[in-house]
Amino acid sequence: MKEAEVLARAFAMPLTNPAYPIGPYRFFNREYLVITYRTDLEKLRALVPEPLLVEEPLVKYEFIRMPDSTGFGDYTESGQVIPVSFNGRKGNYTHCMFLNDHPPIAGGRELWGFPKKLAEPKLHAQIDTLIGELYFGPLRIAVGTMGYKHKQADLAAVKTSLEAPNFLLKIIPHVDGTPRICEIVEYYLTDIELKGAWTGPGQLTLISHALAPLAELPVLEVVSATHILADLTLGLGKVVHDYLGAAK
């Protein structure tokens, strides 16, 4: 294979059989259970990288069911998202995500910098309750529950929240183990078709685990629980802060 052909074909690993296809990535009937809770402000600030700023001691714990997504297939993910601001703009920083499908793990980490690890999340309705669970190996480390569709949410407010900027810390190591890429990436959800959103009573339990330390941001008070159903596109990102460039 000639060098020019390598460059023409290079998109993702492995060269001749990439782990995921070229986007865009469209999601149909994407279903969320989002439990917003109050936590320890100092612990939160210790985990969020500058220049992102934490203004409130809040965390959004998300269970997301994705039954139909182009290129990535059928999978579920779960993790913690932190409301932040960047240069005066309010958005969300993804602190950790756990999911059960290799292509979005590889693509999420390599393209955007999503902090994804392999685990087994679940989201389903059981009679009158929406239940989210996260298993890391055989251990259940997160449980979220919500009364099923008790009240319709403010659809305009929910769509505005989905349209907000999202921030990630992307780290790609060099061959000697030092960081070759270390940057803040901004991305958006686009072409959002909001099919419904509901609120209800919610509860969240997080259990300590050495390799999935969700409980380092303890649940002090549940603020709200929201159930969302939407079609949307996961847009590609842009670099808004380069740590290595700033250091030169």
Active site residues: 116
Region at 121 (left for phi over 0; alpha for psi -120 to 50; beta for the rest): beta
DSSP state, 214?
Answer: G
- Alpha carbon distances (Å) from 160 to 38, 56, 117, 233, 236: 21, 19, 28, 15, 19
- CA dihedral of residues 41, 42, 46, 49 (deg, nearest 10): 40
DSSP 162-187: HTS-EEEEEEEE-TTSSEEEEEEEEE
Tell me how far apart the alpha carbons of residues 237 and 65 are, in angstroms, rounded to a whole number. 22
Both structure tokens of 101: 């499908």
Return the number of other C-beta atoms located less than 10 Å from residue 8's C-beta.
Answer: 10
Whether the CB-CB separation of 52 and 85 falls below 8 Å is answered with yes
Tell me how far apart the alpha carbons of residues 150 and 153 are, in angstroms, rounded to a whole number. 9
